[in-house]
Structure 1
Amino acid sequence: MPFLLTPGPLTTSRGVKIAMLADYGSRDIEFREIVKRIRASLLDLAHCGPNYECVIMQGSGTFAIEAALGSFCPAKRYKTLVVCNGAYGERAAKILNRLGRPVVTLDKGDSEAPTPEDIVAALNADRTISHLWIIHCETTSGIINPIEAICKAVQGRALTIMVDAMSSFGAIPIDMTAWNIDVMVSSSNKCIEGVPGFSYVLAKRSLLEESEGRCHSTVLDLYEQWTVLEKTGQFRFTPPTHALVAFQQALQEYAHAGGLPARSARYKHNAEVLVKGMREMGIETLLSDDEAGPIIQTFLTPRDPNFHFDTFYEALRQRGYAIYPGKLTKRPSFRIGTIGQIDEAVIRGALTAIREVFAEMKVTDMHPLES
C-alpha cells in the first residue's frame, strides 16, 4: 500500500494498526475505560478547564460539525457568522442553510485569511450575530487562519466562538481556555494519527446543558450523547470500537514521541522539504510560506499540455505515494499532505517519484496554468 500524502485518512504507525487486531464489546469495562481516558486526554490537549466536556460522535469529521452546528447555533432571531476561505467553510454554511438556521458568511475567497478587523467589522455591521464559526486550518489550500488574534479581538462580546480544528488539532497549538473558545471540533484520523471512525466536540458544559432539545437530529444530538456517556460510559448507538482502541494507542505514541511540539516540528520539516523540492523543479505554491501551514501544501498546476492530473496521480500511486485526488481551489492546483506517520525520507522519496513521473509524462513547462 502507498504512503498516504493526504490530510486524512493518513499513514498510521504499526502500533496503531496492531491495536485494531483485538475485538472489544461496547459494554466491556476495559472499553469504557478507554473511552473515558480518550475524553480526558482530548480535554487536556486542548487546554480545557473544568468547565468543558468532550463528546465523541460516531462518523467522520463532518458528523461532528453538523452535530455542533445543529446543537448550538440559533434557530431564530440571532445568526451565525461563518468565515469562508475554502470549501470547508462553505460546507458549514451549507449545513446551516439546510437546517434553516440563520447564517451570514464572510467570503475571503480560497487563499486569503480573515483578519481580526474583518471579523470585528462583520460583527459591528450586524448586531444580531451571536455565534462565530471559523476554521483553524482550511485544507482547501492549507492556509492557517489567525484564531488566537481573532479571539482576542472579539473578547468581551456576547459571542459564542466555534472552531473547526479538524486538520490542525494536535499539531498546531490551540488553548480553548485562554482564547475563550466555546466549541471545538476535530476527528480521529488527523494529527493524532488515528484511523477514521469517529469525531469529537469539545464544548463548555453550560452550552451542552442549554442545548437540550435543540438539535434537529436524534443521532447527532450532542446533549443526549453527552448525558449517556456521563451516566453509563457507553455510547447510545454502536461505537466504532476498533477506531477508538487505535486512537488510544495513537495518543500514547503521541505523548511518548514528545506531544504537540514534536508533532508540529516533524510536520513543519516535512512541509519545508516538500516545498523546497517542488520549487526546485519549477512548481509554484498557491500560498506564501507565511500563509501556508504544515498540514497540506497546494501547488499550482503546470501549464504544460502533457500534464494530466489523473495520469500524474495514478503514476505516483503506482510508485507508492497517494496524494490528494483532486483540487478544491479556484485556480488549477493539486495538493500534497505532509501529516501522518511520515518523515523526511518519505517526502524525499515522493519528490524522486514526482521527478520520474514528470519525465515519463514529458512535462517540462512548470509555469502555472491559469484558470
Structure 2
Amino acid sequence: MLLLTPGPVQTRPETRAAMAVDIAPWDPDFGPEYVAVRERVRDLAGGVAGVHATLPLQGAGHFMVEAAIRSFLPPGGRILVPRNGAYADRMIRLAQEAGRDPVPLPLPDTRGVTAEEIAAALAADPSISHVGMVYSETGSGIINDPAAVGAAVRAAGKRLIVDAVSAFGALPFDLKSQPECDVVLFTSNKCLEGLPGIGFAVCPMDRARERAGMAGSWCFDLGDVLRHAERSGWGSFRFTPPVQALHAFRVALDLYDAEGGQAARLARYAENMRVLRAGAERLGLRPYLDAAHQGPIILTLHQPDAPGFTLPGFVEALKRRGVLISNFYTTPTPSIRIGCIGAVTPDDMRFALTAMEAALQELGVNRRAA
C-alpha cells in the first residue's frame, strides 16, 4: 500500500525492521543511543550544545503543543495565534483547555500570515506575551514563515512557539538565529520518516528551567523533563517511553543524513508536489491553493462537483488500487488531502495519479465534472 497522508507517513523497510527488537528503556546499553538521538535532534533544529536541549515526550504532536503552551505560558497568559487553518484552531483549543488565553488573528486559510500582520496585532494588545504559529498548516497546505514572523515577535519583545510538526526535517529552521523562540515542536514521524510515538521540543535550557513545576501537569511539564535529565542523566526517562520507536528513529536519522539532510529531503518532497499537482490538474481537479502559496507537504484539492463523487467512495476506490489517502478534510469547503511526504518518490506520485484517474472513472467523474 502506498501511504499518501501528511502523517503518519510511509517509512523505509530498514526503519520498520528496527522496531522488531525488545529493549528495556532503563538498560544502560540503551542510554547512550537515547543521548545521541537527543543531541542529533538538537543539532537539526539549529540548537547549540549547553544552550538548547531536546525534551521528548511520549505521544502525538498535539501533546507537544499542549506541553509547550503549559510550560511557557502562565495560567491566564495570552498567546496570539494566526488563525489560518485547522491546526491553528487546534492550538487555540489546546490553549483554552489548558487555562491560557488565546487571541486568534483571523486570516484566510489560503495564504501564510505576514510579519506586518503579527506586528500590528502585538502593537494593538500589549498584554500578549507569546505568538503560537503552525509552520506547515496541513489543513490546506500553506506555509507560515517562522523567520519573518519571528523577526516581528523579536522586535516587539515577545516570545514565539513554533508548531513544526509537519514541517521539521524538510523546511528549514535555525533555533540559534531566532532567540525569541521559546520552543520548536515536532515528532519522530512526518518529514523525518521515523515511526510515530514520540514528540520533541527543542528549546533554550534557561527558559525551560525557570518554568519547571509551573505547567499544571506533571506529564506535560517540559521544565520537569529538563530537570529530570539534569538530575538523572540525559539517557534516562521520567516515564516508560516508546523505546522501540526511538530505536527505529535513530535508523531514520541515519537514512536522513545519507539522503543529504534537510535540503535533499525538501527537494524530493517539492518534486513530489510538482508531479502530483500538475497531474491532478490534468485530471481536471482544482487545487485549493494558488501555486504561489502551495507548500511542499500536502496537496489539497477541491472535491469534484459531480453526482457520483463522495470522499469515502474515492478513498475506497484508491485503496483498492493500492493508494491510501486521508478520509477526511479540514477546510471550510469539501476537499481532498494528499500527502507528498514520507518515503515516497515522484514515481510513486505518478502511480498515484494513475490510480486517481481510474478511481474517478469508476465513480463516473469525467474531467469536465472534476
TM-score of the pair, normalised by structure 1: 0.96
Is 1:142 the counterpart of 2:141 in the alignment? yes
Q: Distance in 1 between matches of 2:367 and 2:40?
A: 49
In structure 2, the residue matched to 1:326 is 328
Is 1:92 the counterpart of 2:94 in the alignment? no
In structure 2, the residue matched to 1:72 is 72
Alignment equivalent of 1:254, drawn from 256, 260, 265: 256
Q: Distance in 2 between matches of 1:182 and 1:101?
A: 16
Deviates more, 1:220-229 or 1:278-287: 220-229
1:160-171 pair list within 5 angstroms: 160-171=159-170
Q: Do the aligned residues in 2 keep the contact of 1:304 with 1:365 (CA within 8 Å)?
A: no
Encode CA deviations 1:89-128: one digit per residue, 9 max, x unaligned.
Answer: 1111111111221221112132232111110010000011
Q: Aligned partner of 1:117: which letter? A: E
Q: Distance in 2 between matches of 1:262 and 1:113?
A: 24
Q: Distance in 2 between matches of 1:125 and 1:14?
A: 52
Q: Distance in 1 between matches of 2:15 and 2:348?
A: 19
Instruction: Note the C-alpha offset of 1:223.
Output: 1.5
Encode CA deviations 1:177-228: one digit per residue, 9 max, x unaligned.
Answer: 1133221100111100001111011111111111122112111111222222
Alignment equivalent of 1:276, drawn from 263, 275, 278: 278
Q: Aligned partner of 1:216: which letter? A: G
Is 1:36 the counterpart of 2:35 in the alignment? yes
Instruction: Note the C-alpha offset of 1:33.
Output: 1.2
User: Given the superposition, is the C-alpha separation of residues 107 and 366 from structure 1 closer, same or farther in structure 2, using an over 3 Å criterion?
Assistant: farther
Instruction: Note the C-alpha offset of 1:30.
Output: 2.6
Q: Do the aligned residues in 2 keep the contact of 1:299 with 1:334 (CA within 8 Å)?
A: yes
Q: Distance in 2 between matches of 1:31 and 1:296?
A: 35
Q: Do the aligned residues in 1 keep the contact of 2:74 with 2:215 (CA within 8 Å)?
A: no
Q: Aligned partner of 1:270: which letter? A: N
Q: Partner of 1:279: helix, strand, or coil?
A: helix
In structure 1, the residue matched to 2:292 is 290
Q: Aligned partner of 1:66: which letter? A: E
In structure 1, the residue matched to 2:120 is 121
Q: Aligned partner of 1:357: which letter? A: A
In structure 2, the residue matched to 1:27 is 26
In structure 2, the residue matched to 1:151 is 150
Q: Distance in 2 between matches of 1:118 and 1:209?
A: 32
Instruction: Note the C-alpha offset of 1:69.
Output: 0.7
Instruction: Note the C-alpha offset of 1:153.
Output: 2.6
Q: Distance in 2 between matches of 1:333 and 1:22?
A: 40
User: Given the superposition, is the C-alpha separation of residues 158 and 301 from structure 1 closer, same or farther in structure 2, using an over 3 Å criterion?
Assistant: same
Encode CA deviations 1:298-357: one digit per residue, 9 max, x unaligned.
Answer: 001110111111111011011111011111000211110000001011111100001111
Q: Distance in 2 between matches of 1:165 and 1:159?
A: 19
Deviates more, 1:93-102 or 1:127-136: 93-102
Q: Partner of 1:245: helix, strand, or coil?
A: helix
In structure 1, the residue matched to 2:82 is 83
Report how many residues are paired: 366
Instruction: Note the C-alpha offset of 1:366.
Output: 4.8
Runs (4+) off by over 6 Å: none
Instruction: Note the C-alpha offset of 1:367.
Output: 5.4
1:1-371 pair list within 5 angstroms: 2-50=1-49, 51-76=51-76, 78-180=77-179, 181-230=181-230, 231-232=232-233, 233-364=235-366, 366=368
Q: Distance in 2 between matches of 1:15 and 1:313?
A: 28
Instruction: Note the C-alpha offset of 1:32.
Output: 1.3
Q: Distance in 1 between matches of 2:369 and 2:36?
A: 50
TM-score of the pair, normalised by structure 2: 0.96
Q: Distance in 1 between matches of 2:98 and 2:151?
A: 30
Please list every run of 5 or more consecutive structure 1 residues that lacks an aligned counterpart in the other structure. Answer: none
Q: Distance in 1 between matches of 2:263 and 2:113?
A: 26
Q: Distance in 2 between matches of 1:155 and 1:26?
A: 39
Q: Distance in 2 between matches of 1:279 and 1:110?
A: 21
Q: Distance in 2 between matches of 1:158 and 1:30?
A: 44
Q: Do the aligned residues in 2 keep the contact of 1:284 with 1:367 (CA within 8 Å)?
A: no
Q: Aligned partner of 2:262: which letter? A: L
Q: Distance in 1 between matches of 2:78 and 2:62?
A: 21
Instruction: Note the C-alpha offset of 1:365.
Output: 5.2
Q: Do the aligned residues in 2 keep the contact of 1:324 with 1:335 (CA within 8 Å)?
A: yes
Q: Aligned partner of 1:103: which letter? A: P
Q: Do the aligned residues in 1 keep the contact of 2:19 with 2:244 (CA within 8 Å)?
A: yes
Encode CA deviations 1:49-77: one digit per residue, 9 max, x unaligned.
Answer: 2311110000111111111111111324x
Q: Distance in 1 between matches of 2:102 and 2:306?
A: 42
Q: Partner of 2:155: helix, strand, or coil?
A: coil
User: Given the superposition, is the C-alpha separation of residues 48 and 18 from structure 1 closer, same or farther in structure 2, using an over 3 Å criterion?
Assistant: same
Q: Do the aligned residues in 1 keep the contact of 2:136 with 2:167 (CA within 8 Å)?
A: yes
RMSD (Å) for aligned C-alpha atoms: 1.3
Q: Do the aligned residues in 2 keep the contact of 1:307 with 1:363 (CA within 8 Å)?
A: yes
Instruction: Note the C-alpha offset of 1:154.
Output: 3.1
